[in-house]
Structure 1
Protein backbone atom coordinates (compact mmCIF):
# COMPACT_ATOMS: atom_id res chain seq x y z
CA UNK A 1 0.00 0.00 0.00
CA UNK A 2 1.15 3.52 -0.77
CA UNK A 3 1.37 6.16 1.95
CA UNK A 4 -1.90 7.71 0.73
CA UNK A 5 -3.64 4.32 0.74
CA UNK A 6 -2.39 3.62 4.26
CA UNK A 7 -3.68 7.00 5.45
CA UNK A 8 -7.10 6.36 3.90
CA UNK A 9 -7.28 2.95 5.52
CA UNK A 10 -6.21 4.45 8.86
CA UNK A 11 -9.03 7.00 8.66
CA UNK A 12 -11.57 4.34 7.75
CA UNK A 13 -10.56 1.94 10.54
CA UNK A 14 -10.32 4.67 13.18
CA UNK A 15 -13.81 5.98 12.42
CA UNK A 16 -15.59 2.67 11.73
CA UNK A 17 -17.16 2.33 15.18
CA UNK A 18 -17.74 6.11 15.40
CA UNK A 19 -19.90 6.20 12.28
CA UNK A 20 -21.78 3.06 13.29
CA UNK A 21 -22.61 4.35 16.77
CA UNK A 22 -23.16 8.07 16.12
CA UNK A 23 -24.60 7.73 12.65
CA UNK A 24 -23.34 8.24 9.11
CA UNK A 25 -25.09 11.59 8.80
CA UNK A 26 -24.60 12.86 12.36
CA UNK A 27 -20.85 12.22 12.45
CA UNK A 28 -19.12 15.53 11.76
CA UNK A 29 -15.76 16.36 10.29
CA UNK A 30 -14.67 17.45 13.76
CA UNK A 31 -15.60 14.00 15.07
CA UNK A 32 -13.44 12.45 12.36
CA UNK A 33 -10.42 14.65 13.12
CA UNK A 34 -10.78 13.93 16.83
CA UNK A 35 -10.98 10.16 16.27
CA UNK A 36 -8.01 10.09 13.92
CA UNK A 37 -5.84 12.87 15.32
CA UNK A 38 -5.51 14.22 11.78
CA UNK A 39 -6.26 17.70 10.49
CA UNK A 40 -9.20 18.60 8.27
CA UNK A 41 -6.71 19.16 5.48
CA UNK A 42 -5.45 15.59 5.86
CA UNK A 43 -8.99 14.23 5.72
CA UNK A 44 -9.88 16.24 2.62
CA UNK A 45 -6.54 15.36 1.09
CA UNK A 46 -7.67 11.73 1.03
CA UNK A 47 -11.44 12.03 0.56
CA UNK A 48 -13.54 14.43 -1.52
CA UNK A 49 -15.89 15.18 1.37
CA UNK A 50 -17.42 13.73 4.53
CA UNK A 51 -19.99 11.75 2.55
CA UNK A 52 -17.23 9.87 0.78
CA UNK A 53 -15.66 9.01 4.14
CA UNK A 54 -19.05 7.77 5.35
CA UNK A 55 -19.56 5.56 2.30
CA UNK A 56 -16.06 4.06 2.51
CA UNK A 57 -16.52 3.41 6.24
CA UNK A 58 -19.87 1.74 5.57
CA UNK A 59 -18.28 -0.47 2.92
CA UNK A 60 -15.58 -1.40 5.43
CA UNK A 61 -18.09 -2.21 8.19
CA UNK A 62 -20.35 -4.14 5.83
CA UNK A 63 -17.31 -5.98 4.47
CA UNK A 64 -16.34 -7.18 7.95
CA UNK A 65 -19.86 -8.51 8.50
CA UNK A 66 -19.83 -10.16 5.08
CA UNK A 67 -16.59 -12.00 5.90
CA UNK A 68 -18.11 -13.32 9.12
CA UNK A 69 -21.24 -14.43 7.30
CA UNK A 70 -19.18 -16.14 4.60
CA UNK A 71 -17.23 -17.98 7.29
CA UNK A 72 -20.42 -19.07 9.09
CA UNK A 73 -21.86 -20.36 5.82
CA UNK A 74 -18.54 -21.77 4.60
CA UNK A 75 -17.24 -25.15 3.51
CA UNK A 76 -15.98 -26.09 6.98
CA UNK A 77 -19.52 -27.36 7.59
CA UNK A 78 -20.50 -30.48 5.69
CA UNK A 79 -24.24 -29.86 5.35
CA UNK A 80 -26.44 -26.90 4.54
CA UNK A 81 -28.30 -27.39 7.80
CA UNK A 82 -25.03 -27.11 9.75
CA UNK A 83 -24.18 -23.92 7.88
CA UNK A 84 -27.55 -22.36 8.69
CA UNK A 85 -27.17 -23.28 12.36
CA UNK A 86 -23.66 -21.79 12.41
CA UNK A 87 -25.09 -18.59 10.97
CA UNK A 88 -27.65 -18.44 13.81
CA UNK A 89 -25.04 -19.35 16.44
CA UNK A 90 -22.80 -16.47 15.38
CA UNK A 91 -25.41 -13.93 16.50
CA UNK A 92 -26.24 -15.86 19.67
CA UNK A 93 -22.58 -15.95 20.71
CA UNK A 94 -21.50 -12.50 19.53
CA UNK A 95 -24.42 -10.21 20.25
CA UNK A 96 -22.39 -8.32 22.89
CA UNK A 97 -19.69 -7.31 20.41
CA UNK A 98 -22.33 -6.44 17.79
CA UNK A 99 -24.12 -4.17 20.27
CA UNK A 100 -20.93 -2.59 21.66
CA UNK A 101 -19.92 -1.55 18.14
CA UNK A 102 -23.25 0.20 17.58
CA UNK A 103 -25.33 -2.68 16.25
CA UNK A 104 -25.65 -4.01 12.72
CA UNK A 105 -24.02 -1.59 10.24
CA UNK A 106 -26.53 -2.52 7.55
CA UNK A 107 -29.53 -1.72 9.70
CA UNK A 108 -27.99 1.46 11.11
CA UNK A 109 -27.15 2.79 7.67
CA UNK A 110 -30.53 1.73 6.26
CA UNK A 111 -32.53 3.65 8.87
CA UNK A 112 -30.84 6.97 8.14
CA UNK A 113 -29.92 6.68 4.46
CA UNK A 114 -33.39 6.11 3.04
CA UNK A 115 -34.17 9.66 1.91
CA UNK A 116 -31.40 11.91 3.17
CA UNK A 117 -28.36 9.98 1.88
CA UNK A 118 -29.32 8.20 -1.39
CA UNK A 119 -25.70 7.40 -2.30
CA UNK A 120 -25.34 5.38 0.90
CA UNK A 121 -28.73 3.74 0.38
CA UNK A 122 -27.50 2.12 -2.84
CA UNK A 123 -24.65 0.43 -0.98
CA UNK A 124 -26.99 -0.73 1.78
CA UNK A 125 -29.37 -2.23 -0.77
CA UNK A 126 -26.48 -4.10 -2.34
CA UNK A 127 -25.35 -5.42 1.06
CA UNK A 128 -28.79 -6.76 1.94
CA UNK A 129 -29.14 -8.33 -1.51
CA UNK A 130 -25.77 -10.10 -1.19
CA UNK A 131 -26.58 -11.29 2.34
CA UNK A 132 -29.92 -12.73 1.24
CA UNK A 133 -28.29 -14.27 -1.82
CA UNK A 134 -25.69 -16.10 0.29
CA UNK A 135 -28.32 -17.66 2.52
CA UNK A 136 -30.49 -18.50 -0.49
CA UNK A 137 -27.61 -20.39 -2.12
CA UNK A 138 -27.06 -22.45 1.03
CA UNK A 139 -30.74 -23.40 1.18
CA UNK A 140 -30.85 -24.27 -2.54
CA UNK A 141 -27.75 -26.44 -2.16
CA UNK A 142 -29.42 -28.23 0.72
CA UNK A 143 -32.48 -28.82 -1.44
CA UNK A 144 -30.29 -30.23 -4.21
CA UNK A 145 -28.54 -32.50 -1.71
CA UNK A 146 -31.86 -33.87 -0.50
CA UNK A 147 -31.51 -32.54 3.06
CA UNK A 148 -33.89 -29.56 2.79
CA UNK A 149 -37.48 -29.45 1.55
CA UNK A 150 -37.65 -28.56 -2.13
CA UNK A 151 -41.22 -27.27 -1.75
CA UNK A 152 -39.98 -24.32 0.29
CA UNK A 153 -39.03 -21.02 -1.39
CA UNK A 154 -35.32 -20.57 -0.61
CA UNK A 155 -35.21 -16.83 -1.27
CA UNK A 156 -38.32 -16.23 0.84
CA UNK A 157 -36.79 -18.04 3.82
CA UNK A 158 -33.48 -16.22 3.38
CA UNK A 159 -35.30 -12.90 3.45
CA UNK A 160 -37.25 -13.94 6.54
CA UNK A 161 -34.02 -14.89 8.33
CA UNK A 162 -32.53 -11.47 7.59
CA UNK A 163 -35.70 -9.66 8.67
CA UNK A 164 -35.93 -11.59 11.95
CA UNK A 165 -32.29 -10.99 12.82
CA UNK A 166 -32.41 -7.28 11.98
CA UNK A 167 -35.65 -6.83 13.91
CA UNK A 168 -34.27 -8.78 16.86
CA UNK A 169 -31.13 -6.65 16.97
CA UNK A 170 -33.13 -3.43 16.71
CA UNK A 171 -35.51 -4.33 19.53
CA UNK A 172 -32.83 -5.79 21.79
CA UNK A 173 -30.60 -2.77 21.34
CA UNK A 174 -33.49 -0.37 21.95
CA UNK A 175 -34.72 -2.23 25.04
CA UNK A 176 -31.23 -3.13 26.34
CA UNK A 177 -32.29 -6.76 26.53
CA UNK A 178 -30.87 -9.56 24.39
CA UNK A 179 -33.99 -11.71 24.84
CA UNK A 180 -35.62 -10.21 21.74
CA UNK A 181 -32.73 -11.20 19.51
CA UNK A 182 -32.70 -14.67 21.10
CA UNK A 183 -36.42 -15.01 20.38
CA UNK A 184 -35.75 -14.18 16.74
CA UNK A 185 -32.88 -16.67 16.59
CA UNK A 186 -35.03 -19.36 18.24
CA UNK A 187 -37.69 -18.77 15.59
CA UNK A 188 -35.13 -19.13 12.80
CA UNK A 189 -33.83 -22.36 14.36
CA UNK A 190 -37.38 -23.77 14.45
CA UNK A 191 -37.85 -22.78 10.81
CA UNK A 192 -34.64 -24.60 9.89
CA UNK A 193 -35.44 -27.74 11.90
CA UNK A 194 -39.18 -28.04 11.33
CA UNK A 195 -40.01 -26.22 8.09
CA UNK A 196 -36.94 -26.44 5.89
CA UNK A 197 -35.70 -29.83 7.02
CA UNK A 198 -37.25 -32.90 5.43
CA UNK A 199 -38.86 -34.70 8.36
CA UNK A 200 -39.35 -38.49 8.35
CA UNK A 201 -42.88 -39.48 7.38
Structure 2
Protein backbone atom coordinates (compact mmCIF):
# COMPACT_ATOMS: atom_id res chain seq x y z
CA UNK A 1 0.00 0.00 0.00
CA UNK A 2 1.40 3.39 -1.01
CA UNK A 3 1.94 6.21 1.44
CA UNK A 4 -0.96 8.17 -0.06
CA UNK A 5 -3.27 5.16 0.17
CA UNK A 6 -2.26 4.60 3.80
CA UNK A 7 -2.95 8.23 4.63
CA UNK A 8 -6.36 8.02 2.96
CA UNK A 9 -7.22 4.86 4.87
CA UNK A 10 -6.17 6.43 8.16
CA UNK A 11 -8.11 9.62 7.35
CA UNK A 12 -11.25 7.60 6.72
CA UNK A 13 -10.89 5.64 9.97
CA UNK A 14 -10.24 8.72 12.09
CA UNK A 15 -13.13 10.60 10.48
CA UNK A 16 -15.79 7.89 10.72
CA UNK A 17 -14.79 6.45 14.12
CA UNK A 18 -16.88 8.92 16.16
CA UNK A 19 -19.81 8.52 13.76
CA UNK A 20 -19.96 4.75 14.16
CA UNK A 21 -19.43 5.11 17.90
CA UNK A 22 -22.25 7.61 18.30
CA UNK A 23 -24.83 6.17 15.90
CA UNK A 24 -24.02 2.46 15.98
CA UNK A 25 -23.38 -0.02 13.19
CA UNK A 26 -26.98 -0.16 11.93
CA UNK A 27 -27.67 3.51 12.60
CA UNK A 28 -24.69 4.78 10.61
CA UNK A 29 -25.60 5.42 6.98
CA UNK A 30 -23.31 5.57 3.99
CA UNK A 31 -24.46 9.13 3.33
CA UNK A 32 -23.15 10.13 6.76
CA UNK A 33 -19.79 8.57 5.94
CA UNK A 34 -19.48 10.15 2.50
CA UNK A 35 -20.52 13.54 3.84
CA UNK A 36 -18.07 13.40 6.72
CA UNK A 37 -15.11 12.25 4.63
CA UNK A 38 -15.92 14.13 1.44
CA UNK A 39 -15.29 10.88 -0.41
CA UNK A 40 -17.55 8.83 -2.63
CA UNK A 41 -18.90 5.45 -1.61
CA UNK A 42 -16.58 3.87 -4.16
CA UNK A 43 -13.56 5.67 -2.74
CA UNK A 44 -14.39 4.53 0.79
CA UNK A 45 -14.96 0.93 -0.25
CA UNK A 46 -11.79 1.08 -2.31
CA UNK A 47 -10.02 1.13 1.07
CA UNK A 48 -12.31 -1.25 2.97
CA UNK A 49 -13.95 -4.47 1.90
CA UNK A 50 -17.36 -3.54 3.30
CA UNK A 51 -19.16 -1.58 6.01
CA UNK A 52 -18.30 -4.15 8.68
CA UNK A 53 -14.58 -3.93 7.94
CA UNK A 54 -14.79 -0.16 8.28
CA UNK A 55 -16.81 -0.36 11.51
CA UNK A 56 -14.30 -2.79 13.00
CA UNK A 57 -11.39 -0.55 12.01
CA UNK A 58 -13.20 2.44 13.54
CA UNK A 59 -13.78 0.62 16.81
CA UNK A 60 -10.19 -0.61 16.89
CA UNK A 61 -9.01 2.97 16.44
CA UNK A 62 -11.10 4.22 19.38
CA UNK A 63 -10.12 1.20 21.44
CA UNK A 64 -6.42 1.84 20.90
CA UNK A 65 -6.85 5.51 21.83
CA UNK A 66 -8.41 4.41 25.11
CA UNK A 67 -5.86 1.68 25.85
CA UNK A 68 -2.94 3.97 25.02
CA UNK A 69 -4.26 6.64 27.38
CA UNK A 70 -4.76 4.08 30.14
CA UNK A 71 -1.17 2.95 29.65
CA UNK A 72 0.03 6.55 29.76
CA UNK A 73 -1.77 7.54 32.97
CA UNK A 74 -0.85 4.31 34.74
CA UNK A 75 2.83 4.51 33.82
CA UNK A 76 3.44 8.00 35.17
CA UNK A 77 4.61 6.60 38.51
CA UNK A 78 6.69 3.49 39.26
CA UNK A 79 4.62 2.60 42.35
CA UNK A 80 1.70 0.31 41.61
CA UNK A 81 -0.59 1.97 44.12
CA UNK A 82 -0.07 5.34 42.42
CA UNK A 83 -0.70 3.74 39.04
CA UNK A 84 -4.02 2.45 40.29
CA UNK A 85 -5.09 5.81 41.63
CA UNK A 86 -3.83 7.38 38.41
CA UNK A 87 -6.37 5.27 36.57
CA UNK A 88 -9.11 6.42 38.90
CA UNK A 89 -8.11 10.04 38.37
CA UNK A 90 -8.35 9.48 34.61
CA UNK A 91 -11.85 8.03 34.93
CA UNK A 92 -12.94 11.05 36.93
CA UNK A 93 -12.59 12.93 33.61
CA UNK A 94 -13.43 9.98 31.36
CA UNK A 95 -16.45 11.68 29.82
CA UNK A 96 -14.32 14.59 28.63
CA UNK A 97 -11.74 12.19 27.14
CA UNK A 98 -14.35 10.18 25.22
CA UNK A 99 -16.42 13.16 24.05
CA UNK A 100 -14.46 13.55 20.76
CA UNK A 101 -15.01 9.81 20.16
CA UNK A 102 -18.77 10.24 20.41
CA UNK A 103 -18.88 8.74 23.90
CA UNK A 104 -17.53 5.62 25.57
CA UNK A 105 -16.79 3.05 22.85
CA UNK A 106 -17.33 0.14 25.23
CA UNK A 107 -20.80 1.33 26.22
CA UNK A 108 -21.88 2.50 22.79
CA UNK A 109 -20.48 -0.25 20.59
CA UNK A 110 -20.61 -3.01 23.18
CA UNK A 111 -24.32 -2.57 23.87
CA UNK A 112 -25.37 -1.66 20.33
CA UNK A 113 -23.59 -4.62 18.76
CA UNK A 114 -24.96 -7.29 21.09
CA UNK A 115 -28.01 -7.95 18.94
CA UNK A 116 -26.87 -6.90 15.50
CA UNK A 117 -23.17 -7.64 15.01
CA UNK A 118 -21.33 -10.45 16.71
CA UNK A 119 -17.90 -9.38 15.43
CA UNK A 120 -18.19 -5.88 16.88
CA UNK A 121 -19.55 -7.31 20.13
CA UNK A 122 -16.57 -9.66 20.27
CA UNK A 123 -14.15 -6.77 19.67
CA UNK A 124 -15.71 -4.76 22.51
CA UNK A 125 -15.52 -7.76 24.83
CA UNK A 126 -11.85 -8.19 23.97
CA UNK A 127 -11.14 -4.56 24.88
CA UNK A 128 -12.85 -5.09 28.24
CA UNK A 129 -10.56 -8.07 28.85
CA UNK A 130 -7.50 -6.04 27.92
CA UNK A 131 -8.41 -3.29 30.39
CA UNK A 132 -9.10 -5.81 33.15
CA UNK A 133 -5.74 -7.45 32.41
CA UNK A 134 -3.97 -4.10 32.69
CA UNK A 135 -5.60 -3.41 36.06
CA UNK A 136 -4.75 -6.92 37.25
CA UNK A 137 -1.15 -6.36 36.17
CA UNK A 138 -0.92 -3.25 38.33
CA UNK A 139 -2.36 -5.15 41.29
CA UNK A 140 -0.01 -8.06 40.75
CA UNK A 141 3.02 -5.76 40.66
CA UNK A 142 1.84 -4.07 43.85
CA UNK A 143 1.51 -7.38 45.67
CA UNK A 144 4.84 -8.70 44.41
CA UNK A 145 6.50 -5.39 45.26
CA UNK A 146 5.08 -5.65 48.78
CA UNK A 147 3.27 -2.30 48.40
CA UNK A 148 -0.04 -3.79 49.51
CA UNK A 149 -1.97 -7.01 50.05
CA UNK A 150 -5.34 -7.97 48.61
CA UNK A 151 -7.62 -10.78 49.72
CA UNK A 152 -8.71 -11.69 46.18
CA UNK A 153 -6.65 -12.84 43.20
CA UNK A 154 -5.55 -9.77 41.19
CA UNK A 155 -7.69 -10.57 38.14
CA UNK A 156 -10.82 -11.14 40.23
CA UNK A 157 -10.27 -7.87 42.07
CA UNK A 158 -9.62 -6.14 38.73
CA UNK A 159 -12.89 -7.44 37.26
CA UNK A 160 -14.90 -6.17 40.23
CA UNK A 161 -13.01 -2.88 40.20
CA UNK A 162 -13.70 -2.33 36.50
CA UNK A 163 -17.33 -3.48 36.77
CA UNK A 164 -18.03 -0.78 39.35
CA UNK A 165 -16.11 1.81 37.36
CA UNK A 166 -17.81 1.02 34.07
CA UNK A 167 -21.17 0.99 35.83
CA UNK A 168 -20.59 4.63 36.73
CA UNK A 169 -19.80 5.35 33.07
CA UNK A 170 -23.05 3.65 31.98
CA UNK A 171 -25.20 5.56 34.46
CA UNK A 172 -23.56 8.88 33.58
CA UNK A 173 -24.19 8.11 29.91
CA UNK A 174 -27.82 7.09 30.39
CA UNK A 175 -28.74 10.04 32.61
CA UNK A 176 -26.36 12.61 31.12
CA UNK A 177 -25.39 13.36 34.70
CA UNK A 178 -21.65 13.09 35.34
CA UNK A 179 -22.24 13.00 39.10
CA UNK A 180 -22.79 9.24 38.71
CA UNK A 181 -19.24 8.96 37.38
CA UNK A 182 -17.71 11.31 39.94
CA UNK A 183 -19.45 9.56 42.85
CA UNK A 184 -18.46 6.12 41.55
CA UNK A 185 -14.81 7.12 41.29
CA UNK A 186 -14.89 8.62 44.79
CA UNK A 187 -16.44 5.42 46.14
CA UNK A 188 -13.81 3.30 44.40
CA UNK A 189 -11.03 5.46 45.81
CA UNK A 190 -12.41 4.87 49.30
CA UNK A 191 -13.01 1.16 48.67
CA UNK A 192 -9.56 0.65 47.18
CA UNK A 193 -7.83 2.30 50.12
CA UNK A 194 -9.81 0.04 52.42
CA UNK A 195 -9.27 -3.18 50.45
CA UNK A 196 -5.58 -2.67 49.69
CA UNK A 197 -3.78 -3.43 52.89
CA UNK A 198 -0.90 -1.00 52.52
CA UNK A 199 2.47 -2.17 53.79
CA UNK A 200 4.14 1.22 53.82
Give TM-score, length-normalised by structure 2.
0.92
Q: In the alignment, which residue of structure 2 is the partner of 1:83?
A: 83
Q: Which runs of 5+ in 2 are unaligned?
A: none
Q: Is the 8 A contact 1:171 1:181 kept in 2?
A: yes
For these two proteins, the number of residue pairs brought into alignment is 199
3-state SS of paired residue (1:24): helix
The whole-number CA distance in structure 2 between the counterparts of 1:12 and 1:144 is: 40
Q: In the alignment, which residue of structure 1 is the partner of 2:151?
A: 151
Q: Which runs of 5+ in 1 are unaligned?
A: none
The whole-number CA distance in structure 2 between the counterparts of 1:101 and 1:6 is: 20
1:71 matched to 2:72? The reply is yes
Q: Is the 8 A contact 1:149 1:198 kept in 2?
A: yes
Cα 1:163–1:64 change in 2 (3 A) is: same
Q: Deviations over 1:1-57 (max 9, x none)?
A: 622211110100111211111123311111110110000110111111111110000
The whole-number CA distance in structure 1 between the counterparts of 2:186 and 2:147 is: 20
The whole-number CA distance in structure 1 between the counterparts of 2:97 and 2:142 is: 30
1:177 matched to 2:177? The reply is yes
Query: 1:78 Cα shift?
Result: 2.3
Across the aligned residues of Structure 1 and Structure 2, the Cα RMSD in angstroms comes to 1.7
**What are the residue-to-residue correspondences of 1:59-138 with 2, within 5 Å?**
59-74=60-75, 76-99=76-99, 101-138=101-138
Moved more, 57-66 or 183-192: 183-192
The whole-number CA distance in structure 1 between the counterparts of 2:43 and 2:31 is: 12
Query: 1:150 Cα shift?
Result: 4.2
The whole-number CA distance in structure 2 between the counterparts of 1:120 and 1:155 is: 24
Q: In the alignment, which residue of structure 1 is the partner of 2:162?
A: 162
Q: Deviations over 1:89-143 (max 9, x none)?
A: 0121343342453321122111011231011122112111111001001001101
The whole-number CA distance in structure 2 between the counterparts of 1:79 and 1:72 is: 12
